[in-house]
Chains A and B, each alone.
Chain A
Amino acid sequence: MDEIILEKNNAADDLNGRFLTFYIDDTVYGIDLLHVIEIIQVPPITHIPHVPNYIKGIINLRGKIAPIISVRLKFNQQEIPYDEKTCIIVVVINDMHVGLIVDSISEVANIDSDELAAPPQFGSDLSNQYLGSIANVDGRVILNIDCNKFFESDLGIISSY
Chain B
Amino acid sequence: MSTIDPSMANMLEVFISESIPLFEALDEILLESEKAKNISERHINEIFRIMHTIKGSAGMMGLEEMSTVAHAVEDVFFIIRQDSSKLDLVINAIFDLIFKSTDFLKAELDIIQGIDAERQEHQPIIDELHELVNAMNNGTTAQASAPKASGAADAAAPSDAASNSGSDNGGTDGKFHRLRIFFEEGCQMENIRAFALISQVKDLCDELESVPANPESDSNTSAEIVKNGLLLKFVTDDVQSVVSVVETAVNVQSYELLDEHNDVHTEETEKEEAPSNAAVKVEAAPAAVETAADETKKPAQTDMPKIAKQNLISVNQVKLDQLMDLVGEIVTAESMVSSNPDLKGLVLDNFYKSTRELRKLTDELQDVVMSIRMVPLSGTFQKMNRIVRDMGKKLGKSVELVTVGGDTEVDKTINDSLSDPLMHMVRNSVDHAIESPEERIAKGKPEMGTVTLSAQNIGGEIVITIADDGSGMNTEKLMAKAKKNGLLTKPEADYTEKEILNFIMMAGFSTNTVVTEYSGRGVGMDVVRKNIEKVGGTISIDSKWGVGTTFTIKIPLTLAIVDGMELAVGDTIFTMPITSIKQSFKISDPKQIIYNTDGTEMIMLRGECFPVIRLHQIFDIEAKHTDLMEGIVLQIEYGDKMGCIFADELIGEQQVVVKPFPQFLNKYNIKNCGLSGCTILGDGSISLILDANTLLNYFER
Interface residues, chain A, CB within 8 Å of chain B? 44, 46-52, 55, 58-60, 63, 65-67, 96-98, 151, 154-158, 161
| Residues of chain A lying within 8 A (CB to CB) of residue B661 | 48, 58, 65
Q: A46-B688, A47-B621 are in contact. Are A65 and B670 (CB under 8 A)?
A: no
B670-701: contact bitstring with A at CB < 8 Å (1 yes, 0 no)?
Answer: 10010100101000111110000000000000
How big is chain B's contact interface, by range?
20 to 34
Q: Are B665 and A46 in contact (CB under 8 A)?
A: no
With A and B bound together, what is the CA distance between A44 and B683 in angstroms? 11
Q: Are A63 and B667 in contact (CB under 8 A)?
A: no
With A and B bound together, what is the CA distance between A52 and B619 in angstroms? 13
Min CB distance B399 to A, Å, is 33
With A and B bound together, what is the CA distance between A60 and B684 in angstroms? 7
Q: Give the residue of B621, B670, B687 whose beta carbon is less than 8 angstroms from that of A50.
A: B670
Min CB distance A69 to B, Å, is 9
Q: A58-B686, A59-B686 are in contact. Are A48 and B666 (CB under 8 A)?
A: no
B401-441: contact bitstring with A at CB < 8 Å (1 yes, 0 no)?
Answer: 00000000000000000000000000000000000000000
With A and B bound together, what is the CA distance between A94 and B584 in angstroms? 43
Q: Give the residue of A49, A55, A96 whose beta carbon is less than 8 angstroms from that of B619.
A: A49
Min CB distance A37 to B, Å, is 14
Min CB distance A84 to B, Å, is 21
Name the residue among B572, B618, B663 with the largest chain A CB count within 10 angstroms. Answer: B663
Q: Are B685 and A49 in contact (CB under 8 A)?
A: no
Q: Are A67 and B688 in contact (CB under 8 A)?
A: no
Grouping DSSP codes into helix (H, G, I), strand (E, B) and loop, the A interface class, with mixed when no group exceeds half, is: mixed
Any A CB within 8 A of the CB of B662? yes
| Residues of chain A lying within 8 A (CB to CB) of residue B351 | none
Task: Mark out the residues of chain B between 633 and 677 whose CB falls within 8 Å of any chain A CB in the assembled complex.
Answer: 659-670, 673, 675
Q: A46-B685, A49-B619, A60-B684 are in contact. Are A65 and B668 (CB under 8 A)?
A: no
Q: Name which residue of chain A comes closest to B667, CB basis.
A: A157
Any A CB within 8 A of the CB of B329? yes
- With A49-B618, A96-B664 known, 16 other A-B pairs at CB within 8 A are A46-B686, A46-B687, A47-B619, A50-B673, A51-B665, A52-B668, A55-B665, A55-B668, A58-B665, A58-B678, A58-B686, A60-B686, A63-B680, A65-B659, A65-B680, A157-B667
| Sampled A-B contacts (12; CB under 8 Å) | A46-B688, A47-B621, A48-B675, A49-B675, A50-B669, A50-B673, A58-B665, A58-B686, A59-B686, A65-B680, A96-B663, A157-B666
Q: Are B618 and A98 in contact (CB under 8 A)?
A: no
| Residues of chain A lying within 8 A (CB to CB) of residue B290 | none
| Residues of chain B lying within 8 A (CB to CB) of residue A97 | 662
Q: Are B666 and A158 in contact (CB under 8 A)?
A: yes
Any A CB within 8 A of the CB of B494? no
Q: Are A65 and B329 in contact (CB under 8 A)?
A: no
With A and B bound together, what is the CA distance between A161 and B620 in angstroms? 29
Min CB distance B651 to A, Å, is 15
